Amino acid sequence: MRDGILTFEHGEVRLNGELIPGILRSLSVTGLVRFDEAKQDAMSGKVKTPIGWEDADVFLGLELTSDDSALGGDSLDCYQKLARINAIFKGYDNGANPRVYDVVNPHLRARGINQVVFSSLDSEEGDDDDAISARLIFVEHNPPVQIAENRANARDKAIGPPAVNTPAEPAKDAGIMKDPGPFAAGYEGWK
């Protein structure tokens, strides 16, 4: 279930084709291994066993400036731009849940990320200019159905094709011991 399409390239971020205010300054993706941690008796620390991967985090850095619209339209200051982004962040689907966005970006596709949820919005400003730095944080969305399909595909790949039943060859006759070796040395009954 998707609620929109998120694209970002050439310094712009778009949601369903609508330009999000601000200039795209950075894009970064963080992926982590998920560990099962267990404390062992009589040992300090914990034993970590890798069990999979955490959902990736996607960070977009935007610069929000106070400038006139290039097309002669309404002028938005940095605070109005931040308010628009905040409204998108607080937006929800028909079930009052945060929206899930399909992503169209070669960087994210290379990392195997197809859907994201807008999970956090950070903003900060300095005292020397009329600009706000906004950091939009998205978390990878893997619906339970997709997770189950991925596990089934991984299991099928691990098991491989079904085994072919072929009749086993009969064992060769072991015969009688010809050389007793060191175990029967000196024993007369081995012959």
The CATH number of the domain holding residue 51 is: 2.40.30
Q: Closest Cα to residue 140, out of 61, 30, 8?
A: 30
Q: Please give the Cα distance from 64 to 13 (Å, whole number).
A: 12
pLDDT given at position 149: 57
- Taking the alpha carbons of 47, 111, 5, 88 in that order, is the dihedral positive or negative? positive
pLDDT given at position 90: 86
Query: Does residue 182 belong to any structural domain of this protein?
Result: no
Query: Does residue 95 belong to any structural domain of this protein?
Result: yes
Domain count, the chain: 1
Q: Please give the Cα distance from 135 to 138 (Å, whole number).
A: 10
Consecutive sets of 10 residues in the chain, 191 residues long: mean pLDDT of each? 77 84 91 88 82 92 78 72 90 79 91 92 88 94 65 62 65 61 61 55
Query: Does residue 143 belong to any structural domain of this protein?
Result: yes
Query: Does residue 117 belong to any structural domain of this protein?
Result: yes
pLDDT given at position 121: 94
pLDDT given at position 137: 94
* β 4-9/100-104 pair status: parallel
Query: Does residue 185 belong to any structural domain of this protein?
Result: no
pLDDT given at position 185: 61
Which pTM does this prediction carry?
0.65
Mapped to the 3 state alphabet, what secondary structure does the chain carry?
A: CCCEEEEEECCEEEECCEECCCEEEEEEEECCEEEEEEECCCCCCEEEEEEEECCCEEEEEEEEECECCCCCCCCECHHHHHHHHHHHHCCECCCCCECEEEEECHHHHHCCCCEEEEEEEEEEECCCCCEEEEEEEEEECCCHHHHHHHHHHHHHHHHCCCCCCCCCCCCCCCCCCCCCHHHCCCCHHHC
pLDDT given at position 5: 87
Query: Does residue 121 belong to any structural domain of this protein?
Result: yes
Query: Does residue 169 belong to any structural domain of this protein?
Result: no
Query: Does residue 166 belong to any structural domain of this protein?
Result: no
**Structural domain containing residue 138:** 4-39+46-158
